[in-house]
Structure 1
Amino acid sequence: MGRPNPPPSETGPAPLIARPVDPPPPHIRAAPGRFTRENTAIAAAFVLFVLLGCATAALGSAMPALRREYGGGNLVIVYNLGAFLTIAVLGFGRWSERARALSTGPLAGAFVVGCLVIAWAPDRLTLIPGVALAGAGYGGLALALNSAFARGFGERRVTMLNLLNGAFGAGAVCGPIAVAMADDPGTVFLLLAVAIPLTWPVHTRAAAGAPADHTPAEPVPVPVPVRQRAGTWAPFALLTFVYAGIETGIGAWESTHLTELGTGSGAAAVFTALFWTSLALGRLLVPVLAPDVPPGRLVVGGLAGATLLLPFAAFGAATPVVYASVGVALAPVLPSALAWMAAVTGPAVADRSTATLLTASMIGGACLSLPVQLAADSGHPAAIPWTFAAIGCVACAAALLTMRTTRPRD
């Protein structure tokens, strides 16, 4: 008889045995060009942000007409305050991820009702609660989706957040154009109220969580003391607080500035759309033109460029072009700030960090609109861009402070 075969250990390495392989993460598993649940939910998030941008920009462009019909006042402040309250409650309350995801349905409903009230309000006392309700829906939806995108996508979060907010900018382009084309601004908000429910079945899944962060390069963040966390978050909050005064302010007051210079209300609304167009295009081009630039440098460079350009808007002939150029410069600031903070704090606290920045943004948009309104009421149109330039100087200082006091993992 021949000698029996020795065990594998005596003849060399053991033969390879097929082992089950874990399924790839959702964002890899989704095949290009196929309609998966993940791709559909993300697409719905983009569509929803287009509609939110359309409503937000339409309100600013419709403000001259609304002020003539319902009296003076700053409806943008009311809109931002409604958004701020919702972000504060959802962002800092002890809510589970499932509860936050399920809240997107009622938030979308609040936005729809608010748009309907704006469209059909018989008087000012009815209009103001409708604007606040629409703002509340907008704020909650913006928090849910920005948090989901900041929490997921790993190293692609800068790209995806710029694309998401680029969708908002694309909608903001359509808002002023729609106001200029419509006989009554209320028609625009009525159409938005009809369109929003079409995204309900799928944007809830997007808010429940974008593809999880599977990037192994970033270690799981270790919880830090509250005092240390506040010291990290405060510069970011200051940065977005001041930045919102520029972006929201231009979107709300460019039409007023141009009409004071003698431009017709329809043309002023179109030029405001040009600002939102440049903002949207800039955000869509960031992943192409600056894919490897750290988010901190994008923030500082964008704010510096906008601040240098804004004084030139005081010259009437160049005003629309200057505002459009400022839109390009501002484009990467907010999405990159969200990605920057997520890289510093880690995706585990994305909901709270995103809520911090969006809350600061809403407060800044409301508070810093007041000095712009004073400039608009002064009777000197040039005071409006100079006020924006002053706010830009403060924003640049806040961005440099943030770079100095934080160490992002770029």
Structure 2
Amino acid sequence: MVVRCAVLFGLLGLFQATLGPLIPLLRDREDLAPATAGLLVTGFFSGSLVSTAVGGALNERWARGPLYVVSAVLVVAGLGALALPAGWPVPLLAVSVAGLGFGGLVLLVNTVMAAKGITHVNLVNGIYGLGAAAGPALIGLTHGGLLFAVLAVGVLVSLPLTVPAAEPVIDRERLRPNALLFLFCAFLFCYAGIETGLSSWEATHLRAHGYGADTAAALTSLFWLGLAGGRLLAPAVTRDWAPPRIITAALLACGAALSVIAFGISAPVGFLLLGAFAGPIFPATLAWIARTLPNPRRVNAAVLTVAMLGNATVPTAIGYGLQATSPLALPLFVLAPLAGCLGLAAAMRVRARQRQDV
């Protein structure tokens, strides 16, 4: 079951990573404005947000039954529709349908893997990053079509036959909102905006630096490769570090790496570094949540829902900002949610200490 979940996550990561490189390709093919083509990301993560929220509200039996089956069907159906040679807005509708299934599967797999331990969470999310690293290169070679058809078949084959219960007892408890939960939600909202904003507009940013469309799409793999490496290697490098220290150090390193993508010759290396530095942030945040808040299944559903909201809205806001200014301004627009993450991480650290002292 763990192997199937890891393979499934790798394919889901590959799919998500095709959305950013697909934007400039659709712009050229359909003669779309940048922000209009960028609605692909908004549609995908809006669908994910809905299914994640619904999945968090269901009890364990319903989550392992109808939610799992419906999510799988929606992902396969969306990928199949995206493989069709249809014009706009069919691709937007297809990724929105796939997003509805994506959110449910991500919630279920992360919840089950978290119950098995943080090592399993790092493993499946690291494989997700490896799959994502292959996505941009493949979309650059195939321009979609056959790739999405193969992905639909791959997802169908790799689906675990069943999803076992993760937390049958505490899952029945009601989630009680508190200030620390709010801070975690706000933090992952901003972090999701950083990760998705960079991956969605990386190809557009590289094209503005003078790289060709296919080259820019292929180079987008560097961000995801760095992300996978960061998640897989972080436990060994930061073995004795507490999650707050990992998160703060990673955010500061991301801030430094943003300056590297401002120059055309160093931009690809900068995106690789950004992925590597951002990689440990999400798993470290989940580990921090597990240490400080009760009822992890409900909490994970809440923070993942807000993270999906960040995935859906922040990249769109960045897209309109780039359209109004220049694609080369990407580092400046990403700096805003990065600064928000740093401020929220400091507030979370203070609030967590206050809870421990009570």
Is TM (by shorter chain) over 0.5? yes
Match of 1:30 in 2: none
Q: Which runs of 5+ in 2 are unaligned?
A: none
Task: Measure how far apart 1:312 and its partner are.
Answer: 2.8
Match of 1:290 in 2: 238
| 1:158-197 matches, cutoff 5 A | 159-182=119-142, 184-197=143-156
Match of 1:97 in 2: 60
Among 145, 151, 163, which residue is 2:115 paired with?
151
Q: How many residues of Structure 1 are paired with residues of Structure 2 in the alignment?
A: 348
Question: Letter of the aligned partner of 1:87 in structure 2?
Answer: T
Q: In structure 1, what is the Cα distance between the partners aligned to 2:83 and 2:319?
A: 24
Task: Measure how far apart 1:201 and its partner are.
Answer: 4.1
Q: Note if 1:53 corresponds to 2:13.
A: yes
Q: Confirm or deny: 8 A CA contact 1:117 1:130 kept in the other structure.
A: yes
Q: Confirm or deny: 8 A CA contact 1:314 1:381 kept in the other structure.
A: no
Match of 1:85 in 2: 50
Among 208, 211, 222, which residue is 2:165 paired with?
208
Question: Letter of the aligned partner of 1:192 in structure 2?
Answer: L
Q: In structure 2, what is the Cα distance between the partners aligned to 1:168 and 1:66?
A: 25
Task: Measure how far apart 1:383 and its partner are.
Answer: 1.0
Match of 2:210 in 1: 262
Q: In structure 2, what is the Cα distance between the partners aligned to 1:388 and 1:367?
A: 13
Q: Note if 1:361 corresponds to 2:307.
A: yes
Question: Letter of the aligned partner of 1:208 in structure 2?
Answer: A
Q: In structure 2, what is the Cα distance between the partners aligned to 1:167 and 1:108?
A: 19
Q: In structure 2, what is the Cα distance between the partners aligned to 1:125 and 1:386?
A: 30
Partner SS for 2:83:
helix
Q: Note if 1:112 corresponds to 2:76.
A: yes
Of residues 297-306 and 327-336 in structure 1, the stretch that sits farther from structure 2 once superposed is 297-306
Question: Letter of the aligned partner of 1:253 in structure 2?
Answer: W
Q: Percent identity?
A: 32
Tell me the C-alpha RMSD between the 2 structures: 2.2
Q: Which runs of 5+ in 1 are unaligned?
A: 1-40, 214-219
Q: Confirm or deny: 8 A CA contact 2:209 2:328 kept in the other structure.
A: no
Q: Confirm or deny: 8 A CA contact 1:105 1:200 kept in the other structure.
A: no
Flag the 1:121–1:237 CA change in 2: closer, same or farther, 3 A: farther
Match of 1:128 in 2: 92
Question: Letter of the aligned partner of 1:266 in structure 2?
Answer: D
Question: Letter of the aligned partner of 1:289 in structure 2?
Answer: V
Greater Rg by CA: 1
Q: Confirm or deny: 8 A CA contact 1:161 1:339 kept in the other structure.
A: no
Q: Confirm or deny: 8 A CA contact 1:151 1:350 kept in the other structure.
A: no
Partner SS for 1:120:
coil
Q: In structure 1, what is the Cα distance between the partners aligned to 2:132 and 2:231?
A: 13
Task: Measure how far apart 1:319 and its partner are.
Answer: 0.9
Match of 1:15 in 2: none
Q: Confirm or deny: 8 A CA contact 1:151 1:342 kept in the other structure.
A: no
Q: Structure 2 length as normaliser, TM-score?
A: 0.91
Flag the 1:403–1:121 CA change in 2: closer, same or farther, 3 A: farther
User: Which structure shows the higher helix fraction?
Assistant: 2
Task: Measure how far apart 1:282 and its partner are.
Answer: 0.9
Match of 2:342 in 1: 396
Task: Measure how far apart 1:125 and its partner are.
Answer: 3.2
Q: Note if 1:385 corresponds to 2:331.
A: yes
Q: Note if 1:199 corresponds to 2:158.
A: yes
Q: Note if 1:352 corresponds to 2:260.
A: no
Partner SS for 1:263:
coil
Question: Letter of the aligned partner of 1:376 in structure 2?
Answer: L
Match of 1:27 in 2: none
Flag the 1:405–1:230 CA change in 2: closer, same or farther, 3 A: same
Q: Confirm or deny: 8 A CA contact 1:314 1:386 kept in the other structure.
A: no
Among 187, 191, 204, which residue is 1:239 paired with?
187
Q: Structure 1 length as normaliser, TM-score?
A: 0.80
Q: Confirm or deny: 8 A CA contact 2:260 2:269 kept in the other structure.
A: no
Match of 1:67 in 2: 27
Q: In structure 2, what is the Cα distance between the partners aligned to 1:402 and 1:185?
A: 42
Q: In structure 2, what is the Cα distance between the partners aligned to 1:58 and 1:273?
A: 10
Task: Measure how far apart 1:374 and its partner are.
Answer: 2.4
